[in-house]
A and B are shown apart, each in its own frame.
Chain A
């Protein structure tokens, strides 16, 4: 059974620090990886997607993928209180397969 695991948190970091969110997955055939942010009472919104090993940067966000270790992470630089939310990792296998979501990590950025 395909599984995606994340630390549930809460992860607390001070404003301006780097927040590091981690995700591991069980299916070696997974091909695409996504990070979503979900504010309380709102729907998930896509932050980053990554498909190849290595780093992918977008503004303050960096996604890191290591397929050999079955590990994907999200770094948030210069964390802001507005980054406080639950971050969901999603993984997808081969074409046509469904997206599998992790349980999410709750991030709290303290002013």
Chain B
């Protein structure tokens, strides 16, 4: 069983469209994250949710809106897609965001290409 799963794996779309990426974890973790990895492979956190509550919201355009219907799911909706949004988006989860020894487990990633 996949611990952290994301759909879709690949997403190709036109500029200006709205799209969503879904993430689910079956590890029983309380905290989930969205990361963006650009073409230079820099992995940067976008959002973090702990038990459905937003705890980290880095400087991300408000075209990006995370939604957590329950603690096992964290979806990412992107409005008005731009060329610069092209990247690989990783979902991750960890047991408890406030524990020192907390470690993250990553999903397989969603490669988004905006044309």
Contact = CB atoms under 8 A, between A and B. Distances in A.
Interface of A: 31-32, 34, 38, 42-46, 49, 51, 86, 88, 92, 95-96, 98-101, 103-104
Nearest to B35: A101
Contacts of A44: 43, 90, 106
Given A44-B90, A95-B99, A104 B55 contact: no
A99 B45 contact: yes
A38 B41 CA distance: 10
Interface residues on B, range: 20 to 34
Contacts of A100: 45
Chain B contact surface mostly: loop
Nearest to A34: B103
B41 A103 contact: yes
A103 B40 CA distance: 8
Interface of B: 33, 40-45, 48, 55-56, 58, 90, 97-109
7 contacts: A32-B101, A38-B41, A44-B43, A95-B98, A95-B100, A98-B45, A100-B45
A101 B43 contact: yes
B19 to A, nearest CB: 20
A100 B56 CA distance: 12
Contact of A86 (B41, B97, B107): B41
A34 B101 CA distance: 10
Contact of A98 (B56, B103, B106, B107): B56
B43 A32 contact: no
A31 B56 CA distance: 18
Contacts of A86: 41
Contact of B100 (A42, A51, A104): A51
Contact of B41 (A32, A99, A104): A104
Given A43-B109, A98-B33, 17 more contacts: A31-B100, A34-B103, A43-B90, A43-B108, A44-B106, A46-B104, A46-B105, A49-B101, A51-B101, A86-B41, A95-B98, A96-B55, A96-B98, A98-B56, A103-B40, A103-B41, A104-B43
